[in-house]
Structure 1
């Protein structure tokens, strides 16, 4: 039997009490299930502020309490429990009040929350911005690739330009420790320099001069130039340095950048050139003295200007031919065979027939080339006028070899087949040149004889006038 609120029995018609119980049961189940589902979704979503979390919890408790009130109403017709029902209703009322107060407190905050349309607009704007960023990124990547290629090409040109050259480049920090180096001289590697100072690499005296120049560049902000010699890996080296101060983007000097040019070979060539010029000056003076003596002797033995000019010009031409041989070999010397062939070049068609030239070729020093050239010229001129070259069938045999002790070189001139020879009654210029000028100039001996068959001449000079054997 159903009970009313006073504990008296209720006389409800038909199935009405059952309908009330079912309705309250469904409502109770719904109000208990909804909080459970909302709590599950809230936990899964996992994104909310502290205010949102508090409001959600209050609302869930409120709905849960209302569900309990309806559950109690299901039992009320059969079980009288006014205290429990009142407690549940009181709790639901408090939770409802707290929820309402919370809503009022959070209303300004909730009003500021973006609407769905606003969220969609913002999402659309963000997507547009994202696409623009992607496009910008692609453009930047393309520009980076282009600059990277340009940098690689510039680096390649830089390396090609320095490859095989005597130019080295390097940089140092403010403490003058090497930070980078490229195309270093033979004996040095980049890893040998990086992290070290000049004092760690070079001799103390050279390092102090280099460091002083670099410190001056950083102090004044002006480039410095320096040429310095020092020994590097057991070899004397010379370098020309250009030192530039290195600045950062703010203009603050943070180190140095330097270029070093290896001028060792250039200085060696300059030194060799100075020696050569001094030697050339010395030999030119000697040559002028010889020409002066030739002019005086030729003039003393010539009765006419025409005769003087002919003889003097011929002797100058002989000197000039010897000079040409020396110039061709940078004044180091000349081949004896070439010297003989040159002085007899007007009779080159007779080489190997009427004119025989024998001997292992040797290289003569410049002094010997000039004087032997004059001697050969005088012998040739005499043979053309009075000896074997003055008529067909005449022969000349020219040979040379070292003497037994190898300390002297002997050149022999033999004529035959020409007119019969008689010893001249007086000494001419050619004989004076051979016996006095050539012999004395080379500290050697000249023997000139006049057998009936033809002139015979022996010229013996010290082997010191020979630079090498052919």
Structure 2
């Protein structure tokens, strides 16, 4: 190849090189120098942008790039030497490149075991795929957990709603307190109390002293023993005495230690009031039963003393007992508070109800009578009706009865008038019978009022003055 080495073979002296060979060396050195100088800069820029600027690998990489850069300088010096010979500079650069090469080789030797532990590309792909698979599984697990949490949250909301509905409008209140017995949570408080009045406070700061001492002692006992406690207590709340039945349970943490107390308080004020009312009614019933038995006994004796046969006694006595029973039914219908005067009159004349409005006129503002007045006035009306059936207006188809009542001018008494007319002519009786005695003496005295029974020819007339104290209300 004479173009490269000349006609006489290779001559290693630079000045003996052919022009073509010199140009080839120059171009090659230039390209190699440019590449070796550019590549380290590009790699270093990429390395920095990737953020991988630390560790032993980074130091070795920088050393290697410096070595490549030095080799590039060597080739650049060789290029210059072809036109301006500088063997000293070229030698220094080559020596530096050699030292960097040795340092790089030693670094690689020292770092080789670590580099062997660096996962291969296939291994990295496998690990990445495994991680991606794990990520998908985690996403699925997260979705399942979110669905479970949502379901549990819905269940809790429904349970809370049922809990609130169950307690809403009920007399049941629920509380929780910490170890110092300060309220931490309350729900469905009794009327008159607000949650902000309780949270953070103790019973001693809220309740009357005597009640607070009792309930605090029982709550401490529940925390000390770990057993539930019960207490029924009365105290004044907003100027009204209230009664509560309280159940207290110790609150525990996950380790089982007592951290406070939970309480359920049931307002039994109404129940106790009903019990008191029931006891009062039972006492009243006992009292009235004794009085009623005494009246029945008196009726039985008086009836027996004025009858000549057992059948006559049974008829009269049964009728009078029935009259008492009718009055009793009216009282029971209104829980023994009293009975309507109009209903009492209509009931005692029930056998002649077909004549109401025609033969029997009932007039007057309706009023409510007390139980004592109902019993006695019922007996009086029965006796008047029984007498009218046998001898008076109700024994004649043309007879009439007018019953009316009104308050007197002073409104201290209620005046009831029984007036018969159109029946057989009446003459005063020659002796006082049981009915007359009952009306004039027993009923009048029992009502603490006045009774006037007269027998004008046109028909029996009876005036009964009932004190206003025997009237509970007006219609």
Q: Which TM-score band (shorter chain)?
A: over 0.9
Displacement of 1:55: 0.3
Q: Equivalent of 1:253, from 258, 261, 266?
A: 258
Contact 2:63 2:100 survives alignment (8 Å): yes
Helix, strand or coil: the match of 1:430? helix
Q: Deviation string for 1:329-380 (max 9, x for gaps)?
A: 1111111111111111111122222222222221110001101111111111
Q: RMSD of aligned C-alpha atoms?
A: 1.8
Displacement of 1:466: 0.9
Q: 2: distance between equivalents of 1:26 and 1:443? A: 142
Is residue 2:299 matched to residue 1:287?
no
> How do 1:25-40 and structure 2 match up within 5 A?
25-40=30-45
> How do 1:28-427 and structure 2 match up within 5 A?
28-47=33-52, 49-427=54-432
Helix, strand or coil: the match of 1:15? helix
Relative to structure 2, which stretch is displaced further, 61-70 or 14-23?
14-23
Displacement of 1:248: 2.2
Relative to structure 2, which stretch is displaced further, 332-341 or 397-406?
397-406
Displacement of 1:211: 2.1
Helix, strand or coil: the match of 2:457? coil
Residue of structure 2 in register with 1:430 after alignment = 435
Q: 2: distance between equivalents of 1:35 and 1:356? A: 130
Contact 2:52 2:58 survives alignment (8 Å): no
Q: 1: distance between equivalents of 2:317 and 2:17? A: 169
Displacement of 1:441: 1.4
Q: 2: distance between equivalents of 1:56 and 1:120? A: 24
Residue of structure 2 in register with 1:4 after alignment = none
Q: For structure 2, which runs of at least 5 residues remain unmatched after alignment?
A: 1-12
Q: 2: distance between equivalents of 1:333 and 1:314? A: 22
Q: 1: distance between equivalents of 2:404 and 2:90? A: 151
* Matched residue count: 463
Contact 2:233 2:243 survives alignment (8 Å): yes
Relative to structure 2, which stretch is displaced further, 237-246 or 96-105?
237-246
Displacement of 1:112: 0.5
Displacement of 1:314: 0.8
Relative to structure 2, which stretch is displaced further, 222-231 or 127-136?
222-231
- Return closer, same or farther for 1:86/1:456 CA change in 2, 3 Å cut-off: same
Q: 2: distance between equivalents of 1:52 and 1:248? A: 54
Residue of structure 2 in register with 1:460 after alignment = 465
Relative to structure 2, which stretch is displaced further, 235-244 or 186-195?
186-195
Residue of structure 2 in register with 1:20 after alignment = 25
Helix, strand or coil: the match of 2:28? helix
Q: 2: distance between equivalents of 1:95 and 1:193? A: 82
Q: 2: distance between equivalents of 1:17 and 1:421? A: 174
Q: 2: distance between equivalents of 1:417 and 1:18? A: 166
Displacement of 1:29: 1.9
Q: 2: distance between equivalents of 1:78 and 1:466? A: 144
Is residue 2:456 matched to residue 1:451?
yes
Provide TM-score, normalisation by structure 1: 0.94
Q: 2: distance between equivalents of 1:232 and 1:154? A: 31
Provide TM-score, normalisation by structure 2: 0.93
Helix, strand or coil: the match of 2:212? helix
